[in-house]
Chains A and B, each alone.
Chain A
């Protein structure tokens, strides 16, 4: 272990902190003794991406598309069936758990169930320093915990409280403090605000963003809330049935979505957008049907069963990633929409509330 810790790390400036290459994860549900009845669930099917220092990768997809399995694999909680995951240049399967947990951490969805109700806030955050005593370096553990809490905007008077004495937003702050205590460079945020009240979500999002600039963190940001993903992400990957169907810079994916699934997903968001005369902004038609059975996905392109563009070719041949724009904007579709002008999706700041409102909030 000491040897590994001693190995010089590659220069972090531009090198990707997280590389995922052709990762595949299969599950075998309902294991049968008859080989002919064994079924394979391709939870993650050939996914590749890289995450650079200080960057946020947003991962979007419906439930059951494999986004959480992907997150678990990057955290080392699941082993890929094939493919490679490299953390700061090191193959994930070859590093120790100790080193891994000092590089990548997780912020969980539900701050109500992810904190142990029998531990005080101090105990919860201090656990990181118990697991990583090298971080203490002569300082008092208590001081470090206070420091972590103040980083996320919680005062030292919370130290001896139990999770149930805190509000949802405060609990999520504790969850963030706990994740950041081992000084990781990557944080996987799995739906970090979906369990919080709307008026508190913004506080947590802002905190995550300011911590990112302050500490140079990289985020893998998983959410089903497309407007929040758009807000925080530099790059976005849209996953459908275990495959990335579209990936690229956030701007490009939202303004010129190339894959029909991305377009449909954006069309499905009920948005609070009104024209200045009070009429609603028109939107493209919505997606039909539900996610197909992942045990028995459609042949060829997995999305073809719900796709309005589907043709014979889609059933035979699975589309390969192809570039559709600058900065690595690519999609897996035989008939991508490639255009320079924004498609039918509104991108105006729709609410005319922007000026003269600063008095409300300072």
Chain B
């Protein structure tokens, strides 16, 4: 009963702020995440800032270890604390600072207004409950619906994510679904309470290309229909080019470039994005010898004081290794954290 009252209060509160703050959903400012275990704290994410608006798809693009997943977890409030802590910055969702909220309210916002889809759907679903039970549970616990009503809503939801015979499949267990279908179930659960923001962490990485395309098309459709903001965390350049409105490119815990999606591909302004694009084989070329980025991403424990890409960068000059490069706006809405951004963008 207690929880139900709380639900009602925060529910109206959230609805109220939606009206006042028109398009802006999420604003992340100078976010820093540290891992504090034995020894010196390790900075995993440094000075990350970006905004997400309603109906907008923002892709956080980066290799493994770049801090993209940690950023997503920090927004959702599911960082593994300890050892990971948000060490700096703010996360404002619909005008409220999530980091300053009491735990209970924070959970309410993150459960209801922000949804999350995880990469590994098999381990994210509970193997001993039927899929229908797991979805209906959301409606029963969060909205206080009766069993029958919750089941009907669960069936509608499975139908929405394009699962054939939705009504009958409610009784099935996660292992009876294919990988693609499980991912659809995950998405259904994430959007069940009609969140304003969805965070999808590598939603299609484990799936076949044909299924990837289907899932992404469906996610894109849902975002348009519901005017939902989407944070797409991925390492797949092709996927972001097709589905993102904005791209936040991360490298070793920092945002190196932030731009409208097409600009990253046609007029990138950072040596890392340039090199990354050139190292991916295109369907059009064959046996040409790929351009290579020498070395590998740095260990977060020994990132130098300067630009983290400098040791692998062919543009690097001594000053790159000593100071963090300023973030320059090379075009409206197109930021690059490189001393030579202007020069690089002109190279097109």
Residues in chain A within 8 A of chain B (CB atoms): 62-63, 167-170, 197-203, 205-206, 209, 224, 226-228, 230-232, 250-251, 254, 264-274, 276, 278-280, 286-288, 290-291, 345-353, 356-357, 359-362
Contact = CB atoms under 8 A, between A and B. Distances in A.
A290 B181 contact: yes
B240 to A, nearest CB: 8
A227 B276 CA distance: 15
Nearest to B181: A290
Interface stretch (B123-131, B146-154, B195-203, B280-288): B280-288
B241 to A, nearest CB: 4
Given A201-B279, A206-B292, A278-B266, A271 B64 contact: no
A198 B208 contact: no
A203 B277 CA distance: 14
B244 to A, nearest CB: 11
Interface residues of B, number: 57
A203 to B, nearest CB: 5
B235 to A, nearest CB: 6
B314 A360 contact: yes
B280 A198 contact: yes
Interface in B118-151: none
Contact of A63 (B63, B181, B208, B240): B208
A347 B282 CA distance: 9
Nearest to A354: B278
Contacts of A170: 296
Contacts of A280: 241-242, 262
B289 interface: yes
Contacts of B288: 231
A169 B239 CA distance: 23
Contacts of A276: 266
B290 A202 contact: yes
Interface centre among A203, A288, A351 (most CB of B within 10 A): A351
Interface of B: 63-64, 178-181, 208-214, 216-217, 235-243, 262-263, 265-266, 268, 271, 274-294, 296-297, 314-315, 347-348
A360 B241 contact: no
Contacts of A352: 266, 348
Nearest to B275: A360
B186 to A, nearest CB: 16
Given A270-B238, A361-B275, A345 B297 contact: no
Contacts, number: 181
Given A348-B284, A353-B278, 9 more contacts: A231-B290, A269-B283, A270-B239, A272-B265, A290-B178, A349-B282, A352-B266, A360-B278, A360-B315
11 contacts: A199-B63, A224-B209, A231-B281, A269-B238, A270-B213, A287-B214, A349-B282, A353-B278, A359-B315, A360-B275, A360-B315
A360 B271 contact: yes
A226 B63 contact: no
Nearest to A194: B205
B347 A270 contact: no
Contact of B314 (A205, A250, A362): A362
Contact of A167 (B179, B262, B284, B296): B296
B262 A199 contact: no
Contacts of A228: 281
A188 to B, nearest CB: 20
Contacts of B242: 270-271, 280
B348 to A, nearest CB: 6
Contacts of A361: 275, 278, 291-293, 314
A230 B282 CA distance: 9
B209 A265 contact: yes
B209 to A, nearest CB: 5
Contact of B286 (A202, A231, A271, A272): A231
B279 A202 contact: yes
B282 A350 contact: yes
A272 B238 contact: yes
Contact of A349 (B213, B263, B284): B284
Contact of A231 (B208, B235, B276, B287): B287
Given A168-B296, A272-B265, A359 B214 contact: no
A268 B213 contact: yes
